Structure 1
Amino acid sequence: MPMSDFRLKAFYSVAKNLSFTKASQELFVSQPAVTKHVRELESLYQVRLFDRLGNKISLTEAGRVLLEHCERILQEYRKLEFDMHLLKNEYVGQLRLGASTTIAQYVLPPILARFTEKYPQIEVSLIDTNSRNVEQALHEHAIDLGMIEGVFRAPTLKYEPFLCDELVPVVSCMNTDSEIPDELTLDELRAMPLVLRERGSGTLDAIEMVLAEQGLKLSSLNVRMHLGSTESIKSFLRYSRCMGIVSIFAVERELKEGLFRIVEVPELTFKRHFCFVSVQGQEAETSVIFSRFVRQCLQSR
């Protein structure tokens, strides 16, 4: 973006972070420089953009109006930059991804490595969080494209499945004295101590939906603990007699190495789809290129 327009970027960063310090870190410029750009905008429009109360700031009404326009303007700048370079068969731009934890840790790494090799001039950033937070980031225009495992659907967002996943109940093989059988009935499952993902995760949403189909509630199970990542669950299971329910992609290595084993629950099948998610009618060009690339990579697996 031309330097003459950098003040919009500075304002946008301050407005989103509600912090001049965080904005300076995000933009790799000094805090006085960020303050100078914001003051130039305030002088230009003869308005105050932020209210300051002690160490905290908040947007004024004028600031909220500018932020609304700023989001659209910066999006158009990104589109302009991409289209102008495309005239020379160059793919240049920015791709801001948000992915749920399971996808970010177990599906994306090899794909991102290949993507950045093929498109070295597309600047990629990735937020790794749970499905609900990814959807929130899309609504706040903090990311261009989400990749989630959630089963709920927000009406303002567009969902496109790209990969089938299965959640599997697993236990550690390290506890040789464990008497957990290879197959459980629903009654046995109710008594089994479980460690599961946290509220807001797509994994827990999917588990609850499958349970509901059998007339079961999560509260009827013996859930000992909720943890904020699949890696935490895996680490916990290594030293525990509990059972976890996680994506098959997350435990491929442990199953091959004999560290974990799958426990079948014939009455329950935990299948779901990983989905691309974007704001209706606002898909960036870099998002289209990336989603197409992901599908090609998965087809060649």
Structure 2
Amino acid sequence: MQDFRLRVFHAVASHLSFTKAAAELFITQPAVSKNIHELESEFDIRLFERKGNKISLTAAGTILLNYTEQIIDVYKQIDFDLSVIKKKFSGRLELGASTTIGQYVLPQVLAKFYQSFPEIKLSLVNNNTEKIEAALLDKKIELGIVEGRTQNKQLKYTQFLKDELVAVVHTKNKLAKKDVITLAELQTTPLVLRERGSGTLEVVEHALQKHKIKLSQLHVAMYLGSTESIKSFLKHSNCISFISISAIANDAASGEFKIIDIEDFDIKRSFYFVHLQGKPSGLASTFMRFAAQHYNQKL
């Protein structure tokens, strides 16, 4: 962004902290204060309310933040479009991915994307689907890749990959002797599941509802925040869980975990690219196309 004062303002407005803005921009806190003071003097209006150690945006500050974010997007698009003309892609792209995707689906794509476009600086935030969508709405990231069924009307979703959740136990579990169990058996077996807000749990709940089964009717022993923590828990318990085939295939092939079929019950889902409504930026579009091609998918 050409006007450094707007960069400073955006950092302060995003963090609601002069200290954090200074750290983000690698400048001193007095320098942050000076730039904000110059903006307030130029516009002849206060942009922040200051109460003790806390600050908040004024109505004018909220308006300026909205325009500043639009300006940032325009500069990103300018960088990309000029890079296309020069056949040199550059810029910065902030990504967010739900936990399973960030850990098991994206790493190879990110590595190959970096090899193809070394001048594009990528950053990736991992969290559950609910929080990735919130980060998009807060404009903390530009593109998300999520799982789950809930779709926010302020966001646009584009199908990326198909996935399946499978029932899994550790091979030390007595259930590992079985290849198939019934839904009735599932209801009496201790379960460990992903946390509330995760796309995985949402999809599991929806699949169970089709069979008129509620989570409250199951024996849920634990809710955990990641697939890896669930796998570690399964190693030391007699529980069963639902895990993405992408996350468990290698472990099942090595013989550490076993995938068990459940009669007349399967859980299919999709992974989605998601961004704010409207056309994504050039960088976001490039990454979407690249990732889809990596998995031989069509957008």
Structure 1 residue 49: Cα displacement = 1.3
What TM-score, normalized to structure 1?
A: 0.94
Q: Which residue of 1 aligns with 2:114?
A: 116
Q: In the comparison of the two structures, how many residue pairs are matched?
A: 297
Paired residue type of 1:56? K
Report deviation, 1:281.
Answer: 0.8
Question: Which of 176, 182, 185 is the matching residue for 1:185?
Answer: 182
Which of 280, 285, 291 matches 2:288? 291
SS in 2 for 1:240: coil
* Paired position in structure 1 for 2:5: 7
Aligned to 1:59: 57
Offset at 1:82? 1.7
CA distance in 2: counterparts of 1:224 and 1:37, whole angstroms? 54
Which shows bigger deviation, 100-109 or 17-26? Answer: 17-26
Q: Is the 8 A contact 2:169 2:175 kept in 1?
A: no
- 1:239 is matched with 236
Q: In the aligned structure 2, how far is the partner of 1:97 from the partner of 1:251? A: 24
Matching residue within 193, 203, 206 for 2:200: 203
* Residue in 2 that maps onto 1:194: 191
Q: Secondary structure at the match of 1:299?
A: coil
Matched letter for residue 10 of structure 2: Y
Summarize the alignment of residues 16-31 of structure 1 with structure 2, pairs less than 5 Å apart. 16-31=14-29
Match of 2:259 in 1: 262
Counterpart residue number, 1:69: 67
Q: Which residue of 1 aligns with 2:156?
A: 158
Letter in 2 for 1:93: G
1:83-106 Cα shifts (integer Å, max 9, x gaps): 223221111112111110000000
Name the % identity.
48
Q: Residue 205 and residue 178 in structure 1: after superposition, are their counterparts in 2 closer, same or farther (change >3 A)?
A: closer
Cα distance in 1 between the residues matched to 2:279 and 2:296: 26
2:183 alignment partner AA = L
Alignment match, 1:220: 217
Structure 2 portions without partners, runs of 5+: none
Q: What are structure 1's unaligned runs of at least 5 residues?
A: none
SS at match of 1:199: coil
The one-letter amino acid of 1:76's match is V
The superposition leaves residues 46-95 of structure 1 with CA deviations (integer Å, 9 ceiling, x where unpaired) of: 22211122222111111111111111111111111222232211111121
